[in-house]
Structure formats: C-alpha cells, structure tokens
Structure 1
Amino acid sequence: MNSYGINNNIFQLTYRSRAAEGLTASKIMEIVGEAVTFNKQHDITGCLVFDQGFFIQLLEGEKGIVEQLYTQIKKDKRHFQFEILSKGSTSMRQFKSWDMGYISMDEYALGEKAELVSKAREALDTISTKNDFTPKVFWYNIFTLLTASKFYKNL
C-alpha cells in the first residue's frame, strides 16, 4: 500500500517499436496470437496498436513477468528500435478483459480513427498522472501517433 492508500500490485509498461521492413498483416497476427496464448497463462493484459510501421503497447500484470516478457519481445526480429516510454505500478488495469487487444489503424476507416482519437483524448483528460502515469503515456502516444504526422521523426 502506498502513501495514498492505494494497493499498487499491478505493474504496467508502455513501449514503442518500429516494425521490420516488409512485416505483413499475417505476421502481425502471429505476434498477437502468441501474445494471447502467453498472456492468458501468465495473467498479463494489454493493448497493442499498429500504425504507419510502428507499434505502441501497454502490458500489465505481475512486475517480474511483465519485465521478462518485455525482454523476450525485444528479441523478436519482427520489430526493432524499442523504447520504454513509461513503467510503474497501479491499482487498476486499463485492459482487464483483454489478454491482448490489438488495433491496426490500417483497418480503421476515417470515422473510426476519429473515434479512437476521441477515446484517447478522453483518457488523457480523465486518467490521473499521480496514480496512473503509464496508461496516460500510452494514450498520449496513441493520440499523438494518430494526430501528428511526424511523431517518430527522431527514430
């Protein structure tokens, strides 16, 4: 229990990476399938977003397992240039019913993208940075990726 009286037993990690050149939709679905299988067995939840050749992912669960999983993910040659954006503990999962949610912006129509931008904006407005900084970083990156054409200019 922290000084705010919150039981911080869920560890969250948000990272971004660049897709390997020529990565196909079927290869991405292999990644998602592998994640669902592993995550169900290890009580990991999260969301993976893919757009313009980049991944942003939020993983949540027991700290040691999430960190071990991230180490394994970094070895996957289907993406590279990994960067941890944020990590920390929280009392509540963002994606408690998703073993691994997956969102590909290539599959979204313009109106659906606007809906996701709106959801990201709402999350940014309502998530407290005091207790849930990592999910806020995740949604900020989703919002920025969908609204700024040069989000990854420095990668």
Structure 2
Amino acid sequence: MYNLVYKSIANSLTTAQVDEILKESRDFNDKHDITGCLIYHDGFFVQYLEGDAEIVLALFEKIRVDIRHYEVILLSQGNIYSREFDTWSMAYLSDKLPNEAFQYIKLMVSPEFEIPDMSVIPNPTSKRFWLAAKNLLNKIGHDNFN
C-alpha cells in the first residue's frame, strides 16, 4: 500500500467545477481501488491518495498537468501498512462544512502556513493531520461526504 499527499492552487473554480472533480475522482478511484481525502479551502487543494503505488503515481502525474489547478507540490509519499480512508473513494472536506472543527483543518491548509521540515504541529504530511480529518468526517456523517 502506498500514499501520496500534495497541495495545489485552484484556477478560480466554481462549486460545480469542484463537484465535477469529486465525481471524476470517485469514479476513477472506485475502478482502481484508490481511496483518499480531498480538502478544498480558500482556493487551495490538499489531497491524500492511497492505493497501489504504480496506480497512485500514474494518477499523480495526470493530476500534475490538470489545468484546473497549478503549483502542484508533492508534500509526502511512501509505503503505508494500511489505509486511512478505506471506506471513502474520495472523502471531501471544505470550509462550507457547518462545523467549528474545520478550523483546525483550515489552519493547516491556509496559504500562509509553511510546512517546516521537522514539525511537532500536525500538518498535511503527518498521519495525525489525516486522522483529524477522518475524525471530522466521521462526526459529520459518512453518507454526506462519500
């Protein structure tokens, strides 16, 4: 099992365009046994992908050249023992969620947040960050976001 995390800047997307990205992602991921989570906040994406290494890396290459975003930066990648988002083809979190817990996620993906090489603060490259995202998804209801 392999995971990859990246961030990027959206190209002035509408809600309908983000919804289309989610639909495309979920359809592709269902067919290729990929799971993960997409966070969209204030024009920025952070995405966690997990699955077969060859498929995840090939998908990331397609993502890198997608014109719907730019400045795609790989944050982390590597082998993992098990999936974090095993029940989501592509979980989704955005600042439209009516939940104050999203403030934590928002802080970690804001454009002002620079990811230091060594950090004690959970950030998009850390397992604690994605566990917090998963916990938030579980609190607001799996059916609403899968």
9, 18, 33: which one aligns with 1:18: 9
Question: Which runs of no fewer than 5 residues in structure 1 stay unpaired?
Answer: 1-9, 121-133, 144-155
1:136 Cα shift?
1.4
Displacement of 1:93 in angstroms is 0.5
Which runs of structure 1 show a deviation greater than 4 angstroms over 4 or more consecutive aligned residues? none
Matched, 1:47 2:37: yes
Equivalences for 1:1-155 in 2 at 5 Å?
A: 10-20=1-11, 22-105=12-95, 107-109=96-98, 111-114=100-103, 117=105, 136=126, 139=129
- Return closer, same or farther for 1:137/1:112 CA change in 2, 3 Å cut-off: closer
Q: Deviations over 1:71-120 (max 9, x none)?
A: 11112111110000000001111100000011111x12352424x55xx9
TM-score by length of 1: 0.67
Taking only the aligned residue pairs, the percentage that are identical comes to 36
1: distance between equivalents of 2:6 and 2:94? Answer: 16
Normalised to the residue count of structure 2, the TM-score between the two structures is: 0.71
Distance 1:79 1:137 in 2: 25
Q: 3-state SS of the aligned residue for 1:111?
A: coil
Q: Which has the larger radius of gyration?
A: 1
Q: Residue 116 of structure 2 corresponds to which residue in structure 1?
A: none
What's the offset of the Cα at 1:139? 1.8
